[in-house]
Amino acid sequence: MKSMVRFREESSSESPSQKLRPGRPRKNSQRGLDKLVELPKNLTVNQAVYLELRWEHLPDSFEITHASVFQQDGASAHTAKSVTQWLDDCMVAFIKDWPGNSPDLNSIDNVWHMVKKDLQGKDVSSILNLEKAISESWANIAPEHVRNLALSLPRRLQAVKKRKGHPTKY
> With contact defined as beta carbons under 8 Å apart, do 78 and 96 qualify?
no
Q: Which residues contact 105 (CB under 8 A, 6 or more apart)?
A: 98, 99, 153, 156, 157, 160, 170
* Helix axes of 153-162 and 143-151: crossing angle, nearest 10 degrees: 40
pLDDT in tens, 57-87: 888 777 776 777 888 888 889 999 999 999 9
What count of other Cβ atoms lies within 10 Å of the Cβ of residue 121?
7
The reply to whether 4 and 85 lie within a common domain is yes
The reply to whether 66 and 122 lie within a common domain is no
> With contact defined as beta carbons under 8 Å apart, do 53 and 37 qualify?
yes
The reply to whether 73 and 145 lie within a common domain is no
pTM: 0.66
> What pLDDT score was predicted for residue 51?
92
